[in-house]
A = this chain, B = another copy of it.
Amino acid sequence: MSKVVLDVSVSLDGFTAGPNVRAEEPMGDGGERLHEWMDGTGPDGDIDAGVFREVNASVGAAVIGRRTFDLGVGLWGGTPWPEAPGFVVTHRPRPDLRGDNGGLFAFDGLAAAVRRAKEAAGDKDVLVLGADVARQLLTANLLDVIHLHVVPLLLGAGTPLFDGERAELVPDGKAVTGTVTHQRFRVAKA
Contact = CB atoms under 8 A, between A and B. Distances in A.
Q: Is the interface of A mostly helix, strand, loop or mixed?
A: loop
Given A154-B166, A156-B166, A164-B157, A171 B177 contact: yes
Given A183-B181, A185-B12, A165 B156 contact: yes
A55 interface: no
A4 interface: no
7 contacts: A12-B185, A13-B162, A14-B14, A152-B170, A152-B171, A173-B177, A177-B183
A111 interface: no
Contacts of A171: 152, 177, 179, 181
Q: Copy number in this complex?
A: 2
A155 interface: yes
A121 B169 CA distance: 37
A175 interface: yes
Give the bracket for the number of chain A residues in contact with chain B. Answer: 20 to 34
Nearest to A166: B156
A153 interface: yes
Nearest to A188: B152
Contacts of A170: 152
Interface in A145-162: 148, 152-157, 161-162
A12 B157 contact: no
